[in-house]
């Protein structure tokens, strides 16, 4: 695989893409949060930008899932994956204000998104949204 004219190993390229996707999502998230009029609105916006609803969303989720898989299979990939995940979890922690809720939210988002992408259950984007709102709206 080539990035900027140089050959890179697939695992290095994957981490680079993962960081890029996270940074892109950060910009979207910040723009959405600036438009939010309440904590509930902010939560709904956070959920919406996590849904694998468009082709671009599916591509970004695929990169993230592949990066997790690489970290499982290759311990050398774990520090980079940990850095990306820690940044994401920190966003959620700052918003929800609770370690337990941040862990619950991030794990639910990831697990539900995998079900949507793999299409091995009846999970849909609409159902994912419904489950997340039901689990977290009352916490605000």
Tens digit of pLDDT for each residue in 11-68?
655 565 656 665 667 677 777 778 878 888 989 999 999 999 999 999 889 888 888 8
Domain ranges of the chain: 10-139
The answer to whether residue 70 scores a pLDDT higher than 50 is: yes
Instruction: Tell me what pLDDT residue 16 has.
Output: 57
CB neighbour list of residue 1: distance below 8 Å, 6 or more residues apart: 7, 8, 9, 10, 13
What CATH topology corresponds to 10-139? Answer: Tetracycline Repressor; domain 2 (1.10.357)
The answer to whether residue 84 scores a pLDDT higher than 80 is: yes
- Rg value, the chain, Cα: 16
């Amino acid at each position: 695989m080539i990035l900027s004219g140089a050959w890179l190993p697939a695992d290095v390229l994957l981490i680079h893409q993962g960081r890029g996707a996270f940074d892109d999502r950060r910009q979207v998230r910040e723009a959405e949060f600036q438009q939010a009029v309440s904590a509930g609105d902010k939560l709904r916006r956070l959920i919406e930008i996590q849904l694998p609803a468009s082709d671009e969303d599916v591509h970004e989720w695929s990169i993230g899932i592949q990066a997790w898989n690489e970290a499982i299979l290759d311990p050398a990939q774990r520090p980079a994956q940990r850095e990306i995940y820690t940044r994401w979890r920190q966003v959620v922690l700052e918003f929800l204000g609770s370690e337990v809720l941040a862990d619950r939210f991030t794990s639910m988002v990831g697990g539900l998104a995998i079900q949507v992408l793999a299409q091995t259950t009846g999970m849909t984007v609409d159902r994912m949204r419904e489950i997340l709102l039901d689990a977290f709206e009352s916490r605000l």
